[in-house]
Each structure stands twice: as C-alpha cells, then as structure tokens.
C-alpha cells in the first residue's frame, strides 16, 4: 500500500556528504561519454548506420552520445509495433502498470546523481538545476502511479432506481511522445509514464539535443519490467520521422512540449484525417511563454529583485516558465533596475560540472546565434544593457546573463520568446498599466506579482491571464501535485501536467448501464428452474 504523495526533496550540495556522490557520478558519466545507442522497436535493438550525435554545449566538440537514426519506414514500424502491443497492454491491470512506475521512481532515487550528471553533460544544467529535474521525474512517476489507481477505482455517479451504472476510464491507443531538451528527464519521463500507466503504448522521439538521458530512462523502464513494445525508442529528424509518426493513421494521441511553431505544425498535421484512421487524434501541446513579473511600489525591493533574477536566469533562461519581462512600477523603477543589475552581475557563468556555477552554456549553436541577435535587436530598438551582453562561443555556447532596461511595450524583445538568458525591463505608469503590458502578448503561461496590496493581488488573480500565477514569489519552480502546470493562448493546451486532471487526457470515459431486474421476476425464474 503506497502512502500519500510527497514531493522528492532537493539535494543540499553545501553538505559534503551530498557533494561527494555527485562528483563521483560526474566522473562515472565522463567515462561513458560517446557511446553508441540503437533504436528500440518492439524490444528489438536496431542499428541503421546513420548516426546522430549529441554534444555537450559547454564543450561543443565533446560527444555525449551517438544514436542510430530511424527513417520513414522504421518510424511507421514503430507505430505499428506500439499498436500491436496496445492490444495486450491495454488489459494489464492498472495496479500492475502503476507498480512499474513505483519501481522506476525507486531506481531514479538510487541513481539520482548519475541521472543528473548526464544532464550536466548533455544540456549544460548546473548541479542544482539537474537535481531539480531528476526530482521532478521521480515526482511524476510517483504521482501518476497513484493517480492511475484513483482513476481505476469507483467513480461517483448519480444513482437512480432500477439501474446499476458504472463509469470507467479506458486507454486511447498509440501515443507519440515528443519531449523537449530543456527538461530532458522530467518532462520526457512525465509524458511517457502518463501514457504508459493509463494503458497506452508509446513511440518516444526525444529531442536531438538530449537523446542520451531519454535512453537512460528507457533502460530503467525495461529494468522495471515494462514489456517490450510498450515504449518504443526512436531518434531521427523531425521532418521525416516526426511527421511520419504524427501522421500515421494508427497514432491516436500526440503529447508534445516545445516551440510554438512546431506545436502548431503538429496540431495541424494531427487534425488531418488519414486513410484508415477511425478517430480524431488528440493533441496535448505545451508551447512556451513570454512570462512577466510585475513589481509594484511599496514592496520589499530586495526580495522582488532576487525573485526576478532567479526566475530569469535559472538554467540560462531556457525554461518556458522563465521570467523574460520585469514590469516595474515607475516609482521604484530606477531602484529595481539597479538591484536586478547588481544581482545579475554576481552570477557565475561557467562549466556546468563546477558546483559554483550559477549558469552555463545555452543548448546549441543555433540558440547561441538567435539569442545574440535578440540582444543586438534590443539595443537597436533603444534598450540599455545594464548587465551582461557579452558572449563566448569558442569552447562552448556561453552568453552572459543579460539585463536590458528601458524596453518599451510592443518592442521585439518584449514580445517574442527568446529562450535564453535575456531579461527585458519595462517601466509601467501604475499597476493598471503593468497588468495591461503583462497581458499584451500571445502567450499566457506563468506570471508573478509582487505587491503588498491585497486588492491588487485579487485583481491579479482575476485579470492576469496565465495558467500559473505566483504572488509575491518567483515564477519558476512548479512542483508536481502542488502547482499543476500548463498555460493559455499560444502557451498551449493548458494540460496541467502534474495535476489531478492530467491522466484523463490520456484516456476516454466509458459508461455502462445495467437494468436491474425486479425481485419478483428473479424469484419466478428460480421456481421455474426447480
């Protein structure tokens, strides 16, 4: 019997007894870099000879993993293998499926630092950011396992005389899981286990920037007793492999996290009926944000500045929840700009395997160039750099945490998602103006408000149009079960990952009604039988 869900605690690396195992894990992973990994379809390891390489963004010539790439034919085969396995996996008792997740959570705990070390090398996460990612993956396994047991139990229905009615949740079929690189363990694992524990089968196509950590988690699922074909692992190009698995008529559901552009493309392709398709495909997409923190006058400016900087620059600003806009009341604007700048300049940019590093390299060369162009564009449009602004792409893709003040509402870096360590600071006339600016983008994922005015807090609850609103705290750091996560508008389908509604998206409700026979009829049948 499993106890009540509790979030996995974060590791305190200031204690030597915690730091030493992490150092050992980093060294262990260093010895395993550059290995080659296969595709896995229906349990079969497949090598194609066409290789995709994953590199360390902080050491851009250091290969982390080498992966055999699928082609269109193998992509089709993966969906078909998942569809075949679904015919048996769907009938596996919910408790048995949940046990696989509980075992996965336990193995993740046992290998916590090792899994974090893979992320340090593959995507440039710092010790703390990688540890938080692994903790969240554990939380997803634990939470969704318990949720499946709840969904499998008796569901409340209004009772009427003469009928026995039952509502059951049944799985959908083949789920295509396309996770991002920025939470390469947590989000990838969360979408995968949500699909599997609800009785679906999975074609997992990890990001080309983070396939190694996905493969390591796939191996854990195998170790936990997940039957072959329930989760199929496949790397390859989005245009060839991604389109094929989304379009396939046997695909029932697509779970995606990534950019707005790709999310909309997937949604459009999934909406098109394919020959032989007998359902409307379901899509859950989380597509980013342009998140704002509003700072009112008469607040603790030091606390607010710390919250802004933590939200803006955690994992190099490469979070869909990151604060990319600080909207400051005019009365405290100059003071806040100074405090934000001071805190930003104290951050250490460096190698992610150094425990003293606060932020490291951005994910790849394309991101490095794009972010640098946004910094230049911000200056051309009249912005004033008050911290950072520099970059170094020689050894890795390093960009200094950058604060651009005096940005005007409607300008490019105030509107477009940058997905990097760049913060735009905007002056607002008053709280009304701040709310208007905050809401004036196509996104609606996270936001935060610092104010001591209870009426303004209540207004923010009503009027700040985001899926996750934080009051007098930073806008990042959602916890499974505590802060169900998902946003509005172009931020996606508001699927609320880590919430009590999430698993219902992977299932459909079936009602069966039985007419009860009258007692007199039953007695007559018994007499006739005698």
Mark whether 211 and 232 lie in a shared domain. yes
Instruction: Mention every residue, 6+ apart, whose C-beta is less than 8 A from residue 141.
Output: 101, 102, 104, 105, 108, 189, 193
Mean pLDDT of 301-311: 98
pLDDT, tens digit, 9 for 90 and up, residues 7-30: 999 999 999 999 999 999 999 999
524 falls within a domain:
no
Q: Mark whether 202 and 305 lie in a shared domain.
A: no
CA dist 231 and 222 (Å) reads 9
What gap in Å lies between CA 433 and CA 455, rounded to an integer? 16
Same domain, 195 and 283: yes
CATH number, position 343: 3.40.309.10
The answer to whether residue 495 scores a pLDDT higher than 80 is yes
pLDDT over 70 (residue 59): yes
pLDDT, tens only, 169-220: 999 999 999 999 999 999 999 999 999 999 999 999 999 999 999 999 999 9
Give helix 186-197 / helix 94-110 axis angle, nearest 10°.
Answer: 160
- Statement to judge: residues 348 and 246 lie in one domain: no
Task: Note the pLDDT of residue 517.
Answer: 83
Mark whether 259 and 381 lie in a shared domain. no
- Do the domain assignments include residue 13? no
142-177: pLDDT as tens digits: 999 999 999 999 999 999 999 999 999 999 999 999
Alpha-carbon distance 381 to 426, whole Å?
13
Residues 395 and 302 in one domain: yes
Q: What is the CATH number of the domain that holds 148?
A: 3.40.605.10
The continuous run of DSSP H or E covering 328 comes out as strand 323-329
287: pLDDT strictly greater than 70: yes
- Number of structural domains found in the chain: 2
- Please check whether residues 215 and 264 belong to one and the same domain: yes
Average pLDDT of every residue of the chain: 97
The mean pLDDT of 360-389, rounded to a whole number, is 98
Q: Does 482 fall in a domain?
A: no
17 domain-assigned: no
The catalytically annotated residue of 129, 286, 400, 414 is 286
pLDDT digits (tens, 9 = 90+) for 33-42: 999 999 999 9
Query: Same structural domain for residues 155 and 215?
Result: yes
- The Cα–Cα gap between 271 and 261 comes to 16
> 3-state DSSP call for residue 199?
coil
Residue 111 lies in a domain: yes
Q: Residues 122, 141, 320, 400: which is the catalytic one? A: 320
Q: How many helices (H) and strands (E) does the chain have?
A: 16, 23
Per the domain annotation, does 42 fall within a domain?
A: yes
320 is catalytic: yes
Q: Please indicate, yes or no, if residue 313 is contained in any of the structural domains.
A: yes
- The model's pLDDT over 62-103, given as tens digits with 9 standing for 90+, comes to 999 999 999 999 999 999 999 999 999 999 999 999 999 999
Q: How confident is the model at residue 2 (pLDDT cuts 50, 70, 90)?
A: confident
Under the banding of pLDDT at 50, 70 and 90, the label for residue 521 is low
- 281 with 419, same domain: the answer is no
Tens digits of residue pLDDT in 392-402:
999 999 999 99
Note the pLDDT of residue 1.
66
Q: Domain of residue 202: give its range.
A: 22-287+500-511
- The b/e string for 371-397 (b: 16+ C-beta within 10 A; e otherwise) is bbebbebbeebebebbbbbebeeeebb
> Does the pLDDT at position 523 exceed 70?
no
Integer angstrom CA distances of residue 183 from 143, 208, 252, 258, 501: 18, 13, 25, 10, 21
What whole-number percentage of the chain has pLDDT above 70? 97
Residues 275 and 331 reside in one and the same domain: no
Number of CB atoms found within 10 A of residue 347's CB: 18
Strand partners, 165: 513
CA-CA distance, 101 to 487, in Å (whole number)?
Answer: 26
Residues 178 and 66 in one domain: yes
Query: Among this protein's residues, is 224 annotated catalytic?
Result: no
pLDDT at residue 530, as a whole number: 61
Assigned domain for 437 exists: yes
Q: Report the alpha-carbon distance of residue 366 to residue 364 in Å, rounded.
A: 6
* Co-location of 129 and 190 in the same domain: yes
């Amino acid at each position: 019997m499993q106890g009540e869900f509790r979030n996995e605690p974060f590791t305190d690396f200031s204690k030597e007894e915690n730091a030493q195992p992490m150092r050992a894990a980093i060294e262990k992973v260093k010895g395993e870099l550059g290995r080659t990994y296969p595709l896995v379809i229906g349990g079969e390891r497949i090598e194609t000879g066409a290789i995709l390489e994953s590199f360390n963004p902080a050491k851009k010539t250091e290969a982390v993993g080498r992966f055999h790439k699928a082609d269109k034919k193998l992509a089709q085969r993966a969906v078909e293998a998942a569809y075949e396995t679904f015919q048996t996996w769907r009938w596996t008792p919910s408790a048995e499926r949940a046990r696989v997740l509980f075992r996965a959570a336990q193995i993740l705990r046992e290998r916590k630092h090792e899994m974090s070390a893979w992320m340090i090398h593959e995507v440039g996460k710092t010790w703390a950011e990688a540890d938080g990612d692994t903790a969240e993956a554990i939380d997803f396994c634990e939470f969704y396992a318990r949720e499946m047991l709840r969904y499998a139990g008796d569901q409340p229905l209004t009772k009427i005389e003469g009928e026995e009615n039952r509502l059951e949740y049944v799985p959908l079929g083949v789920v295509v899981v396309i996770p991002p690189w920025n939470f390469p363990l947590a989000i990838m694992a969360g979408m995968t286990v949500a699909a599997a524990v609800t009785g679906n089968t999975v074609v997992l196509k990890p990001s080309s920037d983070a396939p190694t950590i996905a493969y390591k988690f796939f191996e854990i699922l195998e170790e936990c007793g997940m039957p072959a074909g329930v989760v199929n692992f496949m790397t390859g190009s989005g245009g060839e492999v991604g389109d094929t698995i989304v379009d396939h008529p046997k695909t029932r559901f697509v779970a995606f996290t990534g950019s707005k552009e790709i999310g909309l493309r997937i949604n459009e392709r999934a909406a098109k009926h394919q020959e032989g398709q007998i359902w409307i495909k379901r899509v859950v997409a989380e597509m980013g944000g342009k998140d704002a923190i509003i700072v009112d006058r008469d607040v603790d400016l030091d606390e607010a500045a710390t919250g802004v900087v933590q939200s803006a620059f955690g994992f190099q600003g490469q979070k869909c929840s990151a604060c990319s806009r600080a909207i400051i009341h005019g009365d405290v604007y100059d003071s806040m700009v100074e405090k934000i700048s001071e805190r930003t300049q104290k951050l250490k940019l460096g190698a992610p395997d150094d425990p003293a590093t606060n932020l490291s390299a951005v994910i790849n060369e394309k991101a490095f160039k794009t972010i640098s162009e946004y910094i230049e564009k911000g200056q051309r449009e009249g912005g004033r750099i008050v911290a950072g602004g520099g970059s170094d792409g020689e050894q890795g893709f390093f960009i200094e945490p950058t604060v651009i003040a005096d940005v005007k509402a409607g300008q490019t870096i105030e509107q477009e998602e940058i997905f990097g360590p760049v913060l735009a600071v905007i002056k607002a006339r008053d709280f009304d103006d701040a709310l208007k600016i905050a809401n004036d983008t196509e996104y609606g994922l996270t936001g935060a408000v610092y104010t001591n005015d209870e009426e303004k807090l209540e207004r923010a609850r009503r009027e700040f149009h985001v899926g996750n609103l934080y009051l007098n705290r930073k806008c990042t750091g959602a916890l499974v079960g505590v802060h169900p996560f998902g946003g509005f508008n172009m931020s996606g389908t508001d699927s609320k990952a880590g919430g009590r509604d999430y698993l219902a998206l992977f299932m459909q409700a079936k009602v069966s009604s039985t007419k009860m026979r009258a007692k007199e009829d039953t007695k007559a049948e018994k007499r006739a039988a005698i």
